Structure 1
């Protein structure tokens, strides 16, 4: 029986490159960036994302732990695909109330205190109407007091503190404000769009990706398209701490496309103006067929895309597979410079990401007949593998084999 092979060239005869509402993408991104959502404190941003999906007329629900699932019904109901993106961000949490009226914090998610120094923050107490602003400062922050010591001062979370914008000078003053150990301290995004279309902000990872996903879903729904396969948008809330897409799927989920940042740095191919297709990250390679299908879709529809491999980075696809989801995975990203630092991307790259997602949603599964099943016969398994042609041994090979046999007999 001949096996189905990956369609690496023309793959989407019925899909079209839909217009993306770039004003919507931009406005939604800016709005989401300004809603604090460090991992563990995401209720507010998820409420807003739910409102935006409801405005499109998309059905949605939310899991016990808070992962949001939006469903775009397709013609096939026996199988589905998922686009996964996260709404949580890096941040900090109060570890100790200090005797000087300031806060010791520890990071939520993986990021360096080097990039937190000087950040404006919002302290989120347990009472929603009691929030405070502040600034992350090194313990030695006054040049007029410490002079050159500032240039040699250590970097680390033990070496910074949060100065609160309130007349408070001791622990009792902090308690009077309602601030406690365990309160979240969110790094303010402070977004800015330059005249050349660059977006500078904290938390573009992954609020920019989330905005692109919503813009792609809007493009499909505005066009009145019923996709061939039911699609779900999963918005997760714990990616930055390693357990984002651990649930929310069902046995019919055949493909998972994670949407996150494409790391722009020396040695990387990702660029801010293009879509990045992650071939591999720190947890291993993504699905051979699905990644190349996405590359073929981009090429066919004139969407700028580059391949990349990420050494110290993983996405929502990793916890999904680790939790036992039997699905093909791929990673699409928007190029992001200085990830988890002073982040920057470009509106063009976000538009192209939304365009590629919209094209992808219009097509069938990578292997429509095979991927509908959780398992099947080996002869039917899709493969591009080519069995090597047997090679007759040379005279040198025969002599080496004889010598090895003699040596083994003497041992």
Structure 2
């Protein structure tokens, strides 16, 4: 790709007003997107249905997209120049479980898919996807009745080895389970149970990262409806295996220079995440995010009056980590919605999702943070300086 000509550089420097696109972002539509996504089971390893849903939505909006072999989506928006490309990424997959044993008592032993605590699985209503179709059930501790086990139900450790699925079928043995088409390896989806309050809170499982994807879809709506001018080509990526670690490792291509991950910010003691605004992550367990890209996002949030905070996440990684670990030479950053009790009984406020969408929108309409990034490798000229 040749260097940008003078006219292209002028267009980047004359980045215009984003107010029309920002005004098009609606919290109500974000919520609608979220509830539609929540209704589609998508534990890692069982994501085809939600991939088809998002592709259908992109088709309806006339947005070009491509799929990897396994179903990660790359939606493509044209910019005024082709390079350096940027990407925004969120993940469609959620936590779930998988059957590990057909037990002699007619119940199913399970293991987690993704990293989540057994204590949050107790009592969950679930769907088991068998060869004969979906079956319903409940995750219970092995000692589930106080009338039988008395105080032992309080002292039994919360651990996946102490959980089982009670299936809603007339089964009392492993042979009965086989006759009903249950098998080791069956995927298990946990009911999201969304509830929206009149105070603007959404309580549900799997808000990580369906809430982030809903915000991304609203940005795509606002950008396309207002015919927003993008300085460079931009790709919205929807990955399908973030919860098990591979995430954005395969859906990128070599021309992407900036990757903005969209995920949850942990609202908890000891953290400084914004529960009602957007959080700009400065680092996570894999290390600091890109200095220039994160500070560019902070500048945008200040310029447009977007409620924001900075935070560092100690026990957390996102799609950006897998992209770097796959060998991509890209700048990465993370913007996040405020989420209480992540990977458990999660809660987010609609104001946080709207603030997130606004920051993503102004980001995709802003110039690249380092113009030299159009070159995959080159001289020192144009290389940034953290002291400036």
**TM-score tier after normalising by the smaller chain length:** over 0.9
Deviations 1:362-408 (A, max 9, x none): 1111123x11111222243111327xxxxxxxxxxxxxxxxxxxxxx
- What residue number does 2:4 align with? none
Partner Cα distance (1:25, 1:177) in 2: 40
Partner Cα distance (1:296, 1:248) in 2: 28
Partner Cα distance (1:349, 1:341) in 2: 19
Q: Which residue, 12, 15, 37 being the options, matches 2:18?
A: 15
Q: Which residue, 32, 38, 42 being the options, matches 2:43?
A: 38
Partner Cα distance (2:111, 2:386) in 1: 48
Post-superposition, which runs of at least 4 consecutive aligned residues in structure 1 deviate over 2 A? 10-19
Partner Cα distance (1:190, 1:359) in 2: 33
**1:73-92 matched pairs, under 5 angstroms:** 73-92=78-97
C-alpha root-mean-square deviation of aligned residues, in Å? 1.4
Partner Cα distance (1:13, 1:315) in 2: 31
Q: Which residue, 290, 295, 302 being the options, matches 1:292?
A: 295
Partner Cα distance (1:126, 1:24) in 2: 36
Whether 1:203 aligns to 2:209 is: no
Task: For residue 289 of structure 1, give the secondary structure of its aligned residue in structure 2.
Answer: helix
**1:2-401 matched pairs, under 5 angstroms:** 13-16=16-19, 17-127=22-132, 130-368=133-371, 370-385=372-387
**Deviation for aligned residue 1:228:** 1.2
Partner Cα distance (1:24, 1:252) in 2: 32
Partner Cα distance (1:244, 1:108) in 2: 14
Partner Cα distance (2:192, 2:14) in 1: 39
**Deviation for aligned residue 1:52:** 1.1
* Of 114-123 and 142-151, the range deviating more from structure 2: 142-151
**Deviation for aligned residue 1:14:** 3.6
Task: For residue 328 of structure 2, give the secondary structure of its aligned residue in structure 1.
Answer: coil
**Deviation for aligned residue 1:210:** 0.4
Q: Figure out how many residues of one structure are paired with residues of the other and give that number.
A: 374
Q: Assess if the C-alpha contact under 8 Å between 2:78 and 2:232 holds in 1.
A: yes
Deviations 1:172-196 (A, max 9, x none): 1111211100000111101111110
Task: For residue 202 of structure 2, give the secondary structure of its aligned residue in structure 1.
Answer: strand
Partner Cα distance (1:373, 1:73) in 2: 19
Partner Cα distance (1:371, 1:108) in 2: 37
Task: For residue 184 of structure 2, give the secondary structure of its aligned residue in structure 1.
Answer: coil
**Deviation for aligned residue 1:77:** 1.5
Deviations 1:140-170 (A, max 9, x none): 0011111111111111001010011111111
Q: Assess if the C-alpha contact under 8 Å between 1:19 and 1:355 holds in 2.
A: no
Q: Assess if the C-alpha contact under 8 Å between 1:18 and 1:358 holds in 2.
A: no
Q: Assess if the C-alpha contact under 8 Å between 2:239 and 2:251 holds in 1.
A: no
Deviations 1:338-367 (A, max 9, x none): 100111110110011111111111111112
Deviations 1:102-143 (A, max 9, x none): 10000011111011001111111134xx11111110000011
Q: Assess if the C-alpha contact under 8 Å between 1:41 and 1:184 holds in 2.
A: yes
